[in-house]
Amino acid sequence: MATAQAPHQWYTSTGKKTKFKKVLKHAEKSDIVYFGELHNNAIAHWLQLELVKALQEKGQMLVLGAEMFETDNQLGVNAFLSGEIEADSLGQQVRLWPNHKTDYQPLLDVAKQHGFPFVATNIPRRYASQVFRQGIESLDQLTEEEKAWIVPLPMKYDAALPGYQAMLDMMSGGHGGDNFPKAQAIKDATMAHFLLKHLQSDAIFVHFNGSYHSDNHSKAAVDQPGDGIPWYIHQDRPELKQLIITTITQADLSNLAEEHLHKADFILVVDEDVPTTY
C-alpha cells in the first residue's frame, strides 16, 4: 500500500528544502513580494491567503494587488473595499475570473477587513488582444482616458529576455509572431507601472500573478537577466527588494527538479496529484 506524501514542499532557489516560516521571514524584509501561482492550484491559493494573514498578524502594513483585476475595474474593487457594494454584487462592476469566489474573493475579504488597498494592476484584456492582433503601435490611437489604464507609451521592451524569447521560438520557429511576446510584455509593464504607482514606503506590496509573469528573476541566477514584472520594476527602481515565489507541480516532492532551480527565490512544489480547481 502506497503512503501518501505531504501535498506540498517549499524549496529555496538552489533546491534546498525549507519551510513557510523562512518564506515569511524573507517576505517581511521585502518591498515587493510576488506570489506566482498556477491559476487552478488550490494549494497555492491557500498559501497566498496564509501569507497575507501571517504578515498582517506580525503587524505589517500591506498593499495587495493582482493580475486577476484589470485597471479599468479599480472603482468597482474600491466600492467593495469601502462597503458600498457586497461581494455578491462585485461581478456587476468588475470582470471576475471563473474561480474568483473560491480563489480571489478571500484575498479581497482580508483587504477589506484590515483596511488594506487592493490594486487592480493588469491591462484591460481588450488592449492586450489588440497588441497581439495589430501591434503595440495601434495603442497610440487610444483616447487619453484609455491610455490612463495602461503603461505610458512608448514602453521598454527587450525581446531577448528568456520568457519573451521562448514565446518567439514558439511562433514559427522564431520568425514572425513578434506581437505574441509584446502582448505579454505590455501586461508585465502595465502591472509594474501600477504596482509602482501604488507602492507605499511603509507597506509591503504583495502581488498575485501567474508565475510566468515573475519567474526567472532569482538573485541566485547570476547569468539570468530576469523576466516579466520584476524586470520592469528593476528598470525604474533597482533599489527595491523584490521577493519572488513561484508554484510548480511534481510527482516526487523529495527533490526539486533541476529545470526549476533558480526559477524564483522560493519554489512551492505541489504534488501533481492534488486536484485542480478547474
Q: pLDDT confidence of 20, banded at 50, 70, 90?
A: very high
The average pLDDT across 162-182 equals 78
The average pLDDT across 32-39 equals 97
Q: Whose CA is closest to 78, among 124, 32, 123, 115?
A: 115
Sequence-ordered list of residues with C-beta below 8 angstroms from that of 211, at least 6 positions apart, any chain:
36, 37, 38, 246, 247, 248, 264
Q: Whose CA is closest to 240, among 190, 270, 205?
A: 205
The average pLDDT across 125-129 equals 97
pTM reported for the whole predicted model: 0.94
The predicted pLDDT at position 3 comes to 61
Answer whether residue 223 shows pLDDT above 90.
no
Answer whether residue 172 shows pLDDT above 80.
no
Question: CA-to-CA distance for 243 and 106, rounded, in angstroms?
Answer: 22
The predicted pLDDT at position 220 comes to 45
Q: pLDDT confidence of 58, banded at 50, 70, 90?
A: very high
The predicted pLDDT at position 162 comes to 83
The average pLDDT across 109-121 equals 98
Q: What is the pLDDT of residues 243-264, one digit of tens each?
A: 999 999 999 999 999 999 999 9
Residues in the chain: 278
Answer whether residue 222 shows pLDDT above 80.
no
Question: CA-to-CA distance for 191 and 178, rounded, in angstroms?
Answer: 21
Answer whether residue 176 shows pLDDT above 80.
no
Write down all domains in the chain, each with its CATH number in brackets. Answer: 8-256 (3.40.50.11550)
